[in-house]
Amino acid sequence: MLANEQAGAGRLAVASPAPALHALVDGETVTMKAWEDFVSGSRRDNLPVRDVVIRSWARCQSFLVDARADAAPVIGRDHIEALRRDNRDLLQAAATTLAEAADLLSGTRTVMLITDANGVVLEAAGDRATLSVARDISLACGGQWGETFAGTNGIGTALASKQPVLVQAAEHYCAGIKGWSCAGAPIHDPVDGSVVGLLDISGLKQSFTGQALALAVVAARQVEWNLARQTEAEHVRLLEACLEDSQKYAGEGLIALDARGRLLYASRKAAHLLKASFGSDLPQLNRGTRLPIAGIAGGPGGGAGDRLPVPADWVRPLILDGERRGTLLVIPAAASGRPSAGRRAVPDESDHSRSRFADIVGDSDSLRMVIGQGERLAPLPVPILIEGETGVGKELFARALHGHSAAAVGPFVPFNCGAVSREMLGSELFGYVRGAFTGAAAEGRIGRFELADGGTLCLDEIGELPLDLQPYLLRVLEEGVLYRIGDNVPRRVSVRLLAMTNRNLRQEVAAGRFRRDLYHRLAVTALRVPPLRDRHGDVPRLISHFNGLLAQRHGRAPVRFTAAALDLLQRYDWPGNVRELRNAVERAVLLSTSGSIGIDDLPDELRDACGCVAADGWPLLGSPAPPIVAPGAIASTPGAAPTAAPTAMALTETEQRTIKDVIAATGGNLSDAATVLGISRSTLYRKMSQHGIQRISAGKA
């Protein structure tokens, strides 16, 4: 019987691949025919090809890529050596992964490659026979695989789309490469998230599997983690070198930059002197910001005219292991210029210049989802209703929607419908003419709608708008025409309307306090900004952001929160949301005398709500800067004790223990564990991998 079962299994094993093989061949034939139609120009629409591929084909045609090419171009040997030197940190981070690939991919007829940010191959490993064949199409060191050179392929298309991409056989744009399939995953910088390279897995199409994309993504994340650890270690050494040099330059402003021109440290005096000298041309001095300084490699792109003309005698190299790995700017006190009159040194969170979704601080899943929705809705010329509790930051979303829309060239005019009396609302919104009512200005007044003409009008607390004024607002929205109070002359306006409310307008409609037709006109599209209690993991980032911002505004040093205080702040429910958190941080900055904030220094309502008693004595946590994606990457201040690393380790161990306990308590069910922890399952997988946590054998996904 066992022999019969084995024979049956053998017959199944032989027979089953045939339908799949036929489907694969048929699919490739269809794709090949679509490519021929596209290249010849006989058909461009409704081709049976994936969107990512057809978009790439269109780009390749606009780049005038030769569709009949049989290989990618190759750069010169001297050039590739220079590129390898420039990308030595990336290659060092990828060395372990490539070494493992040499064994893992042996006999699989596939290879793994590392490229720079432009798609030039820097290193290759994998099946030896395939590496030899790959040279025929320049899939080796020096090969230029950006889309502009090699058309649609796993390397160039992933870099162009900034996301992992699988390109199979006939989907390639160049004819000579269609015998291969490839999967590429971008590698991101751990500090600013920019793409610094790419990991690609390629193989002959006959032996290639779509699972290679998952392997490429996992391998790219491993390289990113190694890069983060390297960057963290080097930044610590650079800060130590800065500390040593700081003794020589007492009384002068100091700024430390890494090899790519990114800010590691800026003394308060340096920030003041630079702001006085360059004013609004100077970016905000947050850790990780790239300073556009002339003569320093690694800064942001742009012409020389876009860079700050820092005198050469300010610049000192920071040397590690006999090599320049950073820069120290020494700014003499005599360099102070005269700030422009009336210019604020530090932008407020609601500054008109902050009109990007990137300016919204937070990485929680709930916030990123709403930001994604906002990015999709912003270009659409329709009203948007922004809902959310008081203090969640609705106006930040409104400004970002304005900044990402066609109305961004026009004004952004905010107005709070609950901030003026009922009698004055109409004149504030629509304006009035001379003599319209008793007390009216002799020359009349323009209303908010006309002020916002060509731009965006943002109406806060729209639920406070009286019922008798709502038809007028609806008419302006429907017809684009308004009448000033006391006037019979129609005035045409073109305004993008954003409405904000902390009320449930559907309930207001049901209660008869808000017109149904106006509600449906305003809520063509809607965004609901999540409360802070639902933004898991965002509290520490917001504390760091406000700590640096408010300390700079008030001319004080950022405070340092003990781990116990941070734990309480993260457990607090924040009924006042981000605004309440901001006020708590500002209170700490203004009232701190020791520079350290413990539980006893926090407002009574926070301690009472959490039922906590002061338990200080924990290691101190440093403040201002977006965190690097690795433990212990918190900036220190020259002259202060280097306390960041022990705290980061303590917090890492606490997180590790918590995750283990929850997984055990849920019997290994990772879905339940993620729900208990308040994170997504993908985040839980990432943290398990980061901490080396294995799922218990009885567990279920």
φ, ψ of residue 165 to 5 degrees: the values are -140, 140
Say if residue 107's pLDDT is above 70: yes
Handedness of CA 36, 41, 43, 45 (dihedral sign): positive
What pLDDT does 179 receive? 94
Say if residue 135's pLDDT is above 90: yes
Say if residue 701's pLDDT is above 60: no
Give me the architecture of the 357-522 domain, per CATH: 3-Layer(aba) Sandwich (3.40)
Instruction: Provide the token pair at 326.
Output: 């950073």
Confidence of residue 60 (pLDDT cuts 50, 70, 90): very high
Instruction: Return the CA Rg of the chain.
Output: 30
pLDDT digits (tens, 9 = 90+) for 278-313: 666 666 777 888 876 655 544 444 333 345 667 767
pLDDT digits (tens, 9 = 90+) for 649-668: 445 666 777 788 778 767 77
What pLDDT does 294 receive? 55
* Average pLDDT over every residue of 673-684: 71
Opening angle at CA 545, ends 544 and 549, nearest 5: 115
Q: Of the segments 347-351, 519-523, 639-643, which one has the largest average pLDDT value? A: 519-523
Say if residue 698's pLDDT is above 60: no
pLDDT digits (tens, 9 = 90+) for 595-612: 888 888 888 778 777 765
* Average pLDDT over every residue of 375-403: 91
- From 265, 264, 287, 283, select the one nearest 275 (Cα to Cα): 283
First-last CA distance in the chain: 36
Residues of the chain with CATH 1.10.10: 651-691
Residues of the chain with CATH 1.10.8.60: 533-602
What pLDDT does 279 receive? 65
Confidence of residue 491 (pLDDT cuts 50, 70, 90): confident
As a whole number of angstroms, the distance between CA 234 and CA 228 comes to 10
Whole-number percent of the chain with pLDDT over 90:
34
User: Is the pTM higher than 0.85?
Assistant: no
> What's the CATH number for 26-226?
3.30.450.40
- Residue indicated by tokens 């994606």: 629
Confidence of residue 630 (pLDDT cuts 50, 70, 90): very low
Say if residue 229's pLDDT is above 80: yes
What pLDDT does 648 receive? 41
The CATH number, out of the four listed (3.30.420, 1.10.10, 1.10.530, 1.25.40), of the domain defined by the range 651-691: 1.10.10
As a whole number of angstroms, the distance between CA 480 and CA 495 comes to 8
Residues of the chain with CATH 3.30.450.40: 26-226
What pLDDT does 156 receive? 96
Opening angle at CA 374, ends 369 and 376, nearest 5: 100
What pLDDT does 640 receive? 40
- From 186, 168, 177, 199, select the one nearest 67 (Cα to Cα): 177
Give me the architecture of the 533-602 domain, per CATH: Orthogonal Bundle (1.10)
φ, ψ of residue 135 to 5 degrees: the values are -60, -25
Say if residue 137's pLDDT is above 80: yes
